[in-house]
A and B are shown apart, each in its own frame.
Chain A
Amino acid sequence: MIRHPLPMLPWPWLVAVLLVATVALTLASVAIGYAPLNLGAAIAGAWSGRDSMDALVLVQLRLPRALLGAFMGFSLGVSGAALQGLLRNPLAEPGVIGVSGAAAFGAVCVFYFGFAGAFALALPLGGMVGALVATLLLFRMAGASRSPTGLILAGVAINALAGAFTALALNLSPNPYAALEIVFWLMGSLADRSMAQFLLAAPLMVLGWIALLASARNLEALALGEDTAASLGVNLQRLRLQLVLGSALAVGSAVSVTGAVGFVGLVAPHLMRPLVGHRPGRLLLVSGFAGAMIVLCADMAVRLLPVQPELKLGVMTALVGAPFLISMLQGRRRA
């Protein structure tokens, strides 16, 4: 595909560079905000347990926002790479194919009908069930066909259905504000999220990552074709289940606290693919880092732009991601 391959960094170096860059962007995200924050005083205050206003802003607002951005972006990136490997289709992406939308619907059902108060994990569980149902549905509808357009069409249908059900659920809520909150669920935002929400979703996201990253070796075998993979000793049924459950865990729990943010899982693996020699197994981890960096940059951009109230995160990623998707579709048509 690429005639003059880029001079490739050795794999461990690539991972190290991306890790350092992600951590740096997370710190930059903590440093950026709406009001000047004396970071030194804030850290000192937070460290010594003194409840100064600076420490309060740092611990209760800046830190959860940055961490949630990094974790959510990683989840979307790694899930995008995994779904692309599973469906052997470079257009598979949680947002485009409706997995994020369905996760949002699941979370909306739990939240607005009052189940979120029943037990703490209800909200991320709702998101995960939504994501799982959508992935299974998609697999049935488009898993067998090799055509990328078939997958996109199935995704469009699932996305439309999830969006319609989300709107319906929000309209049925007796709370007058609910109907306006559809923008959050369909576009996503990290504004004024709390540490409690991060701590609720983060362990589930990490579990999802582990399931997905553990499939790297088998995913490389699958790239050679299902028969070849089976002959190499890969249990295809188990691999599919692992990938579907892993992305449902990662995407479902992320979306349940941030709303659906599109295109991250499409752009991240695409940017990383040449850097790992198009190996779907190695693509997983680096796509996670790339996804985290994309979301962190988008979230810093919405705070730095002089637009108040701030833009939704999904607006930012769609502005970059949608033209990207169009160019990919055009490229495929010409090929």
Chain B
Amino acid sequence: MRGGLARTCIRGGGLGLAAVAAGVGLASVAVAAAPPQRPQRIVSVNLCTDELALRLARPGTVASVSYLSRRPDTSNVVAEAAAIPVNYGLVEDVVSFRPDLVLAGLYTTRNTVTLLRALAVPVVEIDTPPSIDGVRQQIRDVGALLDGAERAEAQIKAFDARLPRVDPHAPRPRAVVVRASGFTTGPGTLLNDILTRAGIDNLAAAGPLAGQAQPPLEAVIQARPDMLILTDEEGEAPALAGEVLVHPALKALAKHARVVTLPARLWTCSGPGVAEAVARLALAADDWRAAHRAGAAANQASLRPESALPGSAPP
């Protein structure tokens, strides 16, 4: 609920097409007009479905993708989208491509989806994945839908190869995620699963910040995180939303906690970006462990003379 609310509220305003929220998978989504077996003119109106279509559909069958897929700050498929016409998610816009299949997100361009269904255009709505298993499942489902089952299996194989192996018994740093406008990420979200898989505990999932979608900075600092994960939006125009990420208090916290930046495009949609995000965080967690061990050793060394009782024999 809280992750979903936060994201739809934030994203719905401007990004428009970038559906971002947790929920149900592809299987549970109703499809009015049956999609064709081998779609020839696929139109995607959502950033996440853009990525899935461009990676999984047969070459030449994607007729149009959303304009957001060309923005390097939000999209992982800028190169793939460069040669494909863009749409703005409006009905007239979409219909002009004469699609035999439209891919849409579950939380954006709602009016477009309703009208397309009324026009008997096959529309499939795809949610953002709630977990890493959900990412695999979504790649498999959409691959089957777009006549690209083998491409999907190859993607999943590459995805699993990229996922780092994390020792389950290693000490886990406690982290807080701070996103634009000071939002964090709670349990049941893909980002939370990414943290867990990278060997990191999320303080907003179970800890002092649990239940807070937008904790005040003061609470973030008082939670005493080992790691601060800032999900900055690269190259954005100025907005107050980004100010929290450069607040002097967070900069000062860098002396006490390891700061990692993770662009939102890596943990929003199903694709190799998710594995990349896990790998980056796992690396940061390793760094923290190394520093943690060094710090503990130094602490012990400094404590030893005091802890030795007077008169006790040296070991």
Is there a chain A Cβ closer than 8 Å to B169's Cβ?
no
Residue from A60, A176, A184 having most chain B Cβ neighbours under 10 A:
A176
Residue from B9, B208, B223, B237 having most chain A Cβ neighbours under 10 A:
B237
Chain B residue, CB-CB nearest to A194:
B248
Which residues of B194-246 have CB atoms within 8 Å of chain A's CB atoms? 208, 212-219, 221-224, 236-244
Kindly supply a per-residue 1/0 record for chain A positions 242-259, scoring 1 wherever the CB is within 8 Å of any chain B CB and 0 otherwise.
000000000000000000
Could you tell me if A309 and B244 are in contact, using CB atoms closer than 8 angstroms?
no
The prevalent SS among residues of B at the interface is helix
Question: Shortest CB–CB separation between residue B209 and chain A, in angstroms?
Answer: 10
Question: Shortest CB–CB separation between residue A290 and chain B, in angstroms?
Answer: 27
Which listed residue, A37, A51, A175, touches B222 by the CB 8 Å rule? A37
Is there a chain A Cβ closer than 8 Å to B315's Cβ?
no
Which residues of B226-273 have CB atoms within 8 Å of chain A's CB atoms? 236-244, 247-249, 252-253, 255-256
Question: Shortest CB–CB separation between residue A180 and chain B, in angstroms?
Answer: 5
Which listed residue, A114, A196, A308, touches B237 by the CB 8 Å rule? A114
The prevalent SS among residues of A at the interface is loop
Chain A residue contacts of B208, Cβ below 8 A: 35
Chain B residue, CB-CB nearest to A189:
B240
Question: Shortest CB–CB separation between residue A153 and chain B, in angstroms?
Answer: 32
**B: interface residue count bin:** 35 or more
Question: Shortest CB–CB separation between residue B309 and chain A, in angstroms?
Answer: 30
Kindly supply a per-residue 1/0 record for chain A positions 165-177, scoring 1 wherever the CB is within 8 Å of any chain B CB and 0 otherwise.
0000000011111
Which listed residue, A191, A195, A309, A310, touches B248 by the CB 8 Å rule? A195
Which listed residue, A33, A112, A178, A309, touches B14 by the CB 8 Å rule? A178
C-alpha spacing A332/B81, complex, angstroms: 66
C-alpha spacing A275/B219, complex, angstroms: 41
Could you tell me if B222 and A177 are in contact, using CB atoms closer than 8 angstroms?
no
Could you tell me if A34 and B255 are in contact, using CB atoms closer than 8 angstroms?
no
Residue from B15, B213, B249 having most chain A Cβ neighbours under 10 A:
B249
Could you tell me if A61 and B181 are in contact, using CB atoms closer than 8 angstroms?
no
Question: Shortest CB–CB separation between residue B206 and chain A, in angstroms?
Answer: 17
Is there a chain B Cβ closer than 8 Å to A226's Cβ?
no
Could you tell me if A181 and B248 are in contact, using CB atoms closer than 8 angstroms?
no
Chain A residue contacts of B236, Cβ below 8 A: 174-175
**A: interface residue count bin:** 35 or more
Is there a chain B Cβ closer than 8 Å to A43's Cβ?
no
Is there a chain A Cβ closer than 8 Å to B168's Cβ?
no
C-alpha spacing A62/B216, complex, angstroms: 11
Is there a chain A Cβ closer than 8 Å to B13's Cβ?
yes
Chain B residue contacts of A152, Cβ below 8 A: none
Question: Shortest CB–CB separation between residue A211 and chain B, in angstroms?
Answer: 29
Known A-B contacts A51-B252, A57-B222, A192-B247; the reply to A173 vs B217 at CB < 8 A is no
Question: Shortest CB–CB separation between residue B264 and chain A, in angstroms?
Answer: 11
Could you tell me if B252 and A60 are in contact, using CB atoms closer than 8 angstroms?
yes
C-alpha spacing A61/B253, complex, angstroms: 12
Known A-B contacts A57-B222, A60-B248, A180-B10; the reply to A175 vs B216 at CB < 8 A is no
Could you tell me if A194 and B247 are in contact, using CB atoms closer than 8 angstroms?
yes
Which residues of A43-69 have CB atoms within 8 Å of chain B's CB atoms? 51, 53, 56-57, 60-62
Kindly supply a per-residue 1/0 record for chain B positions 157-196, scoring 1 wherever the CB is within 8 Å of any chain A CB and 0 otherwise.
0000000000000000000000011100000000000000
C-alpha spacing A181/B239, complex, angstroms: 8
Known A-B contacts A60-B249, A175-B14, A175-B236; the reply to A309 vs B213 at CB < 8 A is yes
Could you tell me if B240 and A61 are in contact, using CB atoms closer than 8 angstroms?
no
Which listed residue, B16, B181, B216, touches A177 by the CB 8 Å rule? B181
Is there a chain A Cβ closer than 8 Å to B41's Cβ?
no
Could you tell me if A310 and B216 are in contact, using CB atoms closer than 8 angstroms?
yes
Is there a chain B Cβ closer than 8 Å to A142's Cβ?
no
Question: Shortest CB–CB separation between residue B42 and chain A, in angstroms?
Answer: 25
Is there a chain A Cβ closer than 8 Å to B117's Cβ?
no
Chain A residue, CB-CB nearest to B217:
A192
- Of the A-B pairs whose beta carbons lie under 8 Å apart in the complex, a sample of 28, sorted by A's number, is A34-B219, A35-B221, A37-B222, A51-B256, A53-B256, A56-B253, A57-B249, A60-B248, A111-B238, A114-B237, A116-B238, A117-B238, A173-B238, A175-B242, A176-B15, A176-B16, A177-B10, A177-B13, A177-B14, A177-B180, A177-B240, A180-B9, A180-B10, A180-B14, A184-B240, A192-B243, A196-B248, A308-B215
Question: A residues near B, CB below 8 A?
Answer: 33-37, 51, 53, 56-57, 60-62, 111-112, 114, 116-117, 173-181, 184, 191-192, 194-196, 308-310
